[in-house]
Structure 1
């Protein structure tokens, strides 16, 4: 597949994912993407001039109702789409992940003050597909 075609396909996928997240979260998904990038940047550890390590496991907690609505609208792939966006951010910054990168979308145990809550942690040697699918 030609690089130009892949780029158009990626843009179409991003537009679809943005529309889905926007519908479920009732606001622009750019805020969520910025929060993920900020979480990554804020927890970067400079190990040497050429090595900056960042957490690899990210979790986006949503209000339970919003999480259910997202799943009803086919949002099961949103975590992967957010992982892809974060991977591009890390590549642009030259970051090294602490292990396989993953972003999970989960219902919040208690309603967050904001529409979502973002957290991260380094989890070495954990496969991205080791997490159970959220229902």
Structure 2
């Protein structure tokens, strides 16, 4: 079992490094904001069932988003960052025994005038959501 835990930690370190390269910001802070958004909107249905939103949007400062997409086009690095954030959120949900309200997705988009100048995280419940169908 120790090997599995070491493997998971190595994967988490790799994922944090990937996000740092892609987003050029502190990935732990962004991941913490995403986890808090999930935790803050958890609905306890019973002692064994906690439901959380399944559609998350991470709005990045326009400059950060442009840097992210400059190297690989919109479908390149932004989608990879969204997938890395989705994977991190999946692990968080598993650790807390959360049940997603539907298929989980994290979409990364540009936004001007963010309160902290870097990012904003929001969530909602959307049935049968796909990243390319996000309203």
Give the TM-score normalised by the residue count of structure 1: 0.79
Matched, 1:46 2:49: no
Could you tell me which residue of structure 2 aligns to residue 91 of structure 1?
Answer: 94
Number of residue-to-residue matches in the alignment? 127
TM-superposition CA deviations, 1:15-71 (whole Å, max 9, x none): 455334334544311000000000000000001111100000000001111101011
Counterpart residue number, 1:65 = 63
Stretches of 4+ aligned residues off by more than 6 angstroms: none
Call closer, same or farther: CA 1:8–1:94 in 2, change over 3 Å. Answer: closer
Instruction: Give the match for residue 11 of structure 1.
Output: 10
Write the mapping of 1:13-32 to structure 2, written as runs, cut at 5 A.
Answer: 14-15=12-13, 17-23=15-21, 25-32=23-30
Distance in 1 (CA, whole Å) between partners of 2:57 and 2:131 is 14
Structure 1 position 82 matched with structure 2 position 85: yes
Does the CA-based 8 Å contact 2:22-2:81 persist in structure 1? Answer: no
SS in structure 1 of the partner of residue 89 of structure 2: helix
Unaligned stretches of 5+ residues in structure 2: none
For 2:30 and 2:38, how far apart are their aligned partners in 1?
12
Q: Give the TM-score taking structure 2 as reference length.
A: 0.79
Q: Distance in 1 between matches of 2:46 and 2:91?
A: 21
The aligned counterpart of 1:111 is 113
Cα deviation, residue 106, structure 1? 0.2
Helix, strand or coil for the counterpart of 1:68?
Answer: helix
